[in-house]
Structure 1
Amino acid sequence: MKTLSLVSGLLLFFFTATCSQTTEKGNMEYTGTIKEQGITSYQYGTHTLTTGNGFYALKSEAVDLDEYIDKKVMVVAEKIEGYPVDGGPEYLLVLKVK
């Protein structure tokens, strides 16, 4: 009986630890300049972020990205699954701007 309880406890511990790590890994920091997105061939995102080594389409439900147009910022974001499409860039959901 003690063995069953020990195994159950260990499984619960590993399941909980794995879930929290997955959430944290989804959030990344990107530093670059935000621009308003114009007409594009890939048709997703409201703004873009140009970094030293990448280009990303952005959207946010938590931050007004218009406040940061033409400013160099660090954003905390998570990649949106299913993108890129139509030759477009990675698509990020911005959670906050630093």
Structure 2
Amino acid sequence: MKKILILLFVGIAMVSCNTAKQAGGKNLIKLSGKVEKLGMTTFQYGTHTLQVDSKTYALRSSKVDLNTYVDKEVTLKGTKVDGYPVENGPELIEVVEITSK
């Protein structure tokens, strides 16, 4: 019984460490481009877009007011949201930090 409890504890500790590692910035990306308000699109997610060269990213943020940066060149940091892109839409980025160029 002791061996089972020890193995169970070790297994839980390992899962917790892996989750923290992912949340600690493993998927953090940095992008630079022009922020635009989301208009009519074929996809239905995000509140804004970021144009980087010829690639478009959908953006959302619970930490940053993206409206402040509309029509501005910015550099942002964020994480890719799991489950996106959907139906040929762009990748969805959860913005955690943004600065104007």
TM over 0.5: yes
User: Counterpart in 2 of 1:45?
Assistant: 46
Quote the offset at 1:19 in angstroms. 4.9
Trace 1:1-98 onto structure 2 (pairs within 5 A): 16=17, 19-23=19-23, 24-98=25-99
Total equivalences in the alignment: 90
- Per-residue CA deviation, residues 16-48 of structure 1 (Å, 9 max, x unaligned), is 4x5554231121111110000101111111000
TM-score for both structures, normalised by structure 1: 0.77
Structure 2: gaps spanning 5 or more residues: 1-12
How many Å separate the matches in 1 of 2:66 and 2:84?
20
1:66 aligned counterpart, secondary structure: helix
CA RMSD between the two structures: 2.3
Q: 1:19 to 1:85 in 2, by over 3 A?
A: closer
Quote the offset at 1:52 in angstroms. 2.2
Q: Share of identical aligned residues, percent?
A: 36
TM-score for both structures, normalised by structure 2: 0.75
Q: Which amino acid aligns with 1:68?
A: Y
